[in-house]
Amino acid sequence: MSDTDNDFNQHVATHMERIGEIAWQISPQISAAAQCIVQSLLDEGQVIACGAGKANALAQYFCTCLLSHYESDRPALPAVNVGNDATTFAAICMNNRIQETLSRQIQALGREGDTLLLLTDDGNKSSLIQSIQAAHDRNLRVIAITGKQETDLHSLLHDNDIAIGLPDLPPSTAAEIIVLILNAICAQVEEMLFGST
């Protein structure tokens, strides 16, 4: 077996060990997040997603799963990633409002009863702090999935918001586990709304 094979096998083994350590801790929050999203959708609301840095790709993945499908063939579900529009980002940044690139869109698009899904594979991001504030101003519930257990973001969450904080993992490892969390939420949302297929 080559060194490359050994490196990969060690990576997978470490990954599985970390998943096993935290799965039981975050399972209730995953179910709560799915229920929150389902309630928004049943109330004719939407999911607004955003991620800081590389986590923006994870936000887009989640929105794609809702808009298209995850596992089952079913109607499209309304979801938008406010970090996906490069033109809007550039326009907001051009006015020296780089920290408002996400929050301005949430203020414009968010409606009471919607859910904000906020993702970061590391810790604090000022643009995400403003996003939470904008969501609360519009009476959105917030689901925050973070690569750290304690951040400034957590101090802003309301009692009815949902925090899924990972145990201070490296960003690359956190990103891998966040994908698993998003998949679990998608699966539960589909099951709750459409039953098993």
Q: Which residues contact 124 (CB under 8 A, 6 or more apart)?
A: 151, 152, 153
Order of all β-strands in the sheet with 115-120: 79-81, 47-51, 115-120, 141-146, 162-165
One pLDDT digit (tens) per residue for the chain, 197 residues: 677 778 888 877 776 777 777 878 899 999 999 999 999 999 999 999 999 888 999 999 999 999 999 998 999 999 999 988 888 878 887 776 778 889 999 999 999 999 999 999 876 677 899 999 999 999 999 999 998 888 889 999 999 999 999 987 888 888 989 999 999 999 999 999 999 75
- The predicted pLDDT at position 143 comes to 98
142, containing H or E segment: strand 141-146
Domain count, the chain: 1
pTM value is 0.91
Angle 57-60-65 (CA atoms, 0-180°, nearest 5)?
130
- The predicted pLDDT at position 96 comes to 63
Longest dimension (CA), the chain: 56
- The predicted pLDDT at position 76 comes to 97
Tokens for 98? 């780089």
Q: Which domain holds residue 15?
A: 3-194
Of 174, 196, 175, which is closest to residue 187 (Cα–Cα)?
A: 196
CATH at 27 = 3.40.50.10490
Task: State how far Cα 63 lies from the chain centre.
Answer: 9
- The predicted pLDDT at position 17 comes to 78
Place of tokens 């709304």: 193
